[in-house]
A = this chain, B = another copy of it.
Amino acid sequence: MARFAVLLSLLLALVGCRRGHAASKPSPALPGTLGTRVLVVERASGSLAAYDWSERTLLPNRIEGLGDLHHATMTFGPDLHWGFLATRSGRLVRIDLDTLKVDGEVQTSKNSIDLGITHDGRTIGVAEYIPGGVTLVDARTMTVKTRIPSSSRVTGMVDAPGNKLVCVLIEGQEIWILDPAASPPVTHKIKAGAGMPYDAMITADGRHYVVGKLGSDGIAVLDLEKPEAGVREISLRDPELPADVGSPKKLPHMASWAQAGRFLFVPLVGEKRLAVLERETFSFVKSVPLRGHPVYTVRAPSEREIWVSFSGEEDDAWLDVVDTTSLTVKRSLRVGRRVYHLDFTPRGSHLLVTANADDELVLVDAVRYEVVDRKKLRSPSGIFSPFRAARIGL
């Protein structure tokens, strides 16, 4: 009898134990919390590293085996539960932001270039290269909702007001507006005008979709308030410069266009200047001369400064800081060789920079213009903060 009693209590203990485990999820026990964490693409090794800029520490977790991450970008749902990564291997990967582990994936194509999430956080749109077209994925179940085939490669996938998505067809030379709640989901197909689109961006208010053209100094602008009116073609040529100098050979990734106050700042690759446009009219205002060929322009949250990175060994370790009132370079800062990406912390106290040739992630105090931390990473590239979830177009 006594033995049975003991056996019984043993069983009860084990049951209790199991119940105890069921009721408590294992703690990730990671330093910091997700707000100050950024995920950094390690391009060569196909991994994501995590850094907390408040704790100034690399997190132990490294998310490995993600495939080809060239030009890989991430987007974040509003609940901050997950980050979504589109890869050149055609895999859409979902990362749990609490545990920093892969929490679901789906093969959407052989080669994806870009992605966007609807404002309600329910649908991911993936821009496909091979084969072309768009894949709509349910963000919760990570299953394909709709496949919209096309013979053309697709890029420039962004979110837009009204739980919509917008993208552009490269060979198709068409802008598509998608509403995942409609059927068919593609509600508008708009001619993108002359020249081959290579990338696009949406303004921070989600109103204008701007398409860059390969080997052209022209852009196409679509007002999403009246898509039926079609695109306006706008030249970035500087009337005060000779055409051969004023015409950029190529535009950089357009996520790098910075908007501050009533201006839009456009880095012209192949030229040592930024083009400043009027935000509302897209008319040319002036050029801002720079030390070298700009790649990225990032706006400080205060909108008082634009921070610019460069291509070319003689300049690519430097950042120029452009004053958005005087429209001149107010200072330059050396951060590390071959700067690939830069991103501000939510309210702008700090700036994160990847110095790819130095294999470093660099933390800059943006108030004192000082480098305050450096961490070694493997060929670091894109930097992605969960606060992208608070901004239209990222």
* Residues in A lying within 8 Å of B, measured CB to CB: 2-3, 6-7, 9-10, 13-14, 16-17, 20-21, 23-27, 29, 32-36, 52, 54, 77-81, 97-98, 118-121, 159, 161-163, 205-207, 225, 261-262, 280, 300-304, 325, 345-350, 367, 386-387, 389-392
A124 to chain B, nearest CB (A): 14
Listed residue (A20, A26, A161) with the most chain B CB atoms within 10 angstroms of its CB: A161
Whether B14 contacts A23 by the Cβ 8 Å rule is no
Whether B23 contacts A17 by the Cβ 8 Å rule is no
- Chain B residues with CB below 8 A from A23, complex form: 26-27, 29
List 23 contacting pairs A-B, 8 Å CB cutoff, sorted by A: A2-B3, A3-B6, A6-B7, A10-B13, A16-B17, A17-B17, A20-B21, A23-B26, A23-B27, A33-B97, A35-B77, A35-B78, A36-B78, A52-B79, A54-B78, A54-B79, A118-B349, A119-B347, A119-B349, A161-B304, A206-B301, A207-B303, A301-B392
Whether A81 contacts B390 by the Cβ 8 Å rule is no
* A35-B81, A205-B261 known; A302-B27 Cβ under 8 A: no
Main secondary structure of the interface of A (DSSP, over half): loop
* A2-B3, A162-B367 known; A346-B78 Cβ under 8 A: yes
A119 to chain B, nearest CB (A): 4
Q: Among B32, B261, B262, B303, which residue has its beta carbon within 8 angstroms of that of A79?
A: B32
A387 and chain B: residue at smallest CB distance: B390
Q: Among B118, B207, B304, B386, which residue has its beta carbon within 8 angstroms of that of A302?
A: B207
A159 and chain B: residue at smallest CB distance: B347
- Chain B residues with CB below 8 A from A161, complex form: 300-302, 304, 347-348, 367
